């Protein structure tokens, strides 16, 4: 018997005997940050400099490329991935004179643990924005897009000048409704239990994680890149987000849900968009403090 059928039978029995425990189990599978089971090596990425991220116990450090650039680009990876999934976007942003920053999200990459919440990820992004102090563009992939827009909307410091969202889902609820259960049998009562457990863990209901709703007050030029044939996040989500934000533009790119990050159409779109919307930096920028804890890792991606 394969692991998934074993998991399904065990969970079915638990659902009958202890439905709340079954919901907690299912929520932990949905929220897993270790879909592929691999933990990357703790090595500095090629050409990067380490920096400390202040004010967040889940994410304490990240990396910079072109550390003396004027204005920063902040890269935000998707769920069950890590910062290495965004490395292909470093050169086009660095070539525009930006310093480029990235980090592993809570319980992602080399971080401890295998569970995280959207609330934790949003707070970590906010801490990176505060630490860098001069983020001009945020580039986020997949579910990282919802967390990134939520963090920007809550940010009280200098606001970015534009954002790029790559293959973003419209809502966390939509991701949950499309989820295959990870080997579990998703009955309606169990799904409702997952919603309640996610509410408890995040401190806000699942409906809170709606990208357009979180960004409704932002007048931020936003480029949305999506492959019409994305097998994980439907193109209709990109259309919904574009219609819901004040200043968003949707462009097609190739590569599916993860390959889109490395496809030349994506880098071309990003270069053209940021050239249009970024002002010429002037004056010195803050320098995050170097940190001895450094790492790099292989490319993996997924959604909870």
Q: What does the pLDDT look like over 92-137, one tens digit per residue? A: 999 999 999 999 999 999 999 999 999 999 999 999 999 999 999 9
Q: What is the mean pLDDT of residues 162-174?
A: 98
Concatenated DSSP letters of 7-66? HHHHHHHHHHH-HHHHHHHHHHHHTBS-TT-----B-PPTT-EEEEPPS-SS--EEEEES
- Helix orientation angle between 144-154 and 118-132, rounded to the nearest 10 degrees: 50
Sign for the pseudo-dihedral over CA of 231, 263, 89, 297: positive
Q: Where are the beta strands (DSSP E) in the chain?
A: 49-52, 61-65, 72-76, 99-102, 135-141, 162-166, 222-226, 248-252
Tokens of 87: 């490395």
The pTM (predicted TM-score) of the whole model is: 0.87
Does residue 76 sit in helix, strand or coil? strand
Reading the block at residue 127, the tokens are 């801490």
Tens-digit pLDDT profile for residues 170-214: 999 999 999 988 778 889 999 999 999 999 999 999 999 999 999
- 22: Cβ contacts below 8 Å, ≥ 6 apart: 11, 14, 15, 190, 193
């Amino acid at each position: 018997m394969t692991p998934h059928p074993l998991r399904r039978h065990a969970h079915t029995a638990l659902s009958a005997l202890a439905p709340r425990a079954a919901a907690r189990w299912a929520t932990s599978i949905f929220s897993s940050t270790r879909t592929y089971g691999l933990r990357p090596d703790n090595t500095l990425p090629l050409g990067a400099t380490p920096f400390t991220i202040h004010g967040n116990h889940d994410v304490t450090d990240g990396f910079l490329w072109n550390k003396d650039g004027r204005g920063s680009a902040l890269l935000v990876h998707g769920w069950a991935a890590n910062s290495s999934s965004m490395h292909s976007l470093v050169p086009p942003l660095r070539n525009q004179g930006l310093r480029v920053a990235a980090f592993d999200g809570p319980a992602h990459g080399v971080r401890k643990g295998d569970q995280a919440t959207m609330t934790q990820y949003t707070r970590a992004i906010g801490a990176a924005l505060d630490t860098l102090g001069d983020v001009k563009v945020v580039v986020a992939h997949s579910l990282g897009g919802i967390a990134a827009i939520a963090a920007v909307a809550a940010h009280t410091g200098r606001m970015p000048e534009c954002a790029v969202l790559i293959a973003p889902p419209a809502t966390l609820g939509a991701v949950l409704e499309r989820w295959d259960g990870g080997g579990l049998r998703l009955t309606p009562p169990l799904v409702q239990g997952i919603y309640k457990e996610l509410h408890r863990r995040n401190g806000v209901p699942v409906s809170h994680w709606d990208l357009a709703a979180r960004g409704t007050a932002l007048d931020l030029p936003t480029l949305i890149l999506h492959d019409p044939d994305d097998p994980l996040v439907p193109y209709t989500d990109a259309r919904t987000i574009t219609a819901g934000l004040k200043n968003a533009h949707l462009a097609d790119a190739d590569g599916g849900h993860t390959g889109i990050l490395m496809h030349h159409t994506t880098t071309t779109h990003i270069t053209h968009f940021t050239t249009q919307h970024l002002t010429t930096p002037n004056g010195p920028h803050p320098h995050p403090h170097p940190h001895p804890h450094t790492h790099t890792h292989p490319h993996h991606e997924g959604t909870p």
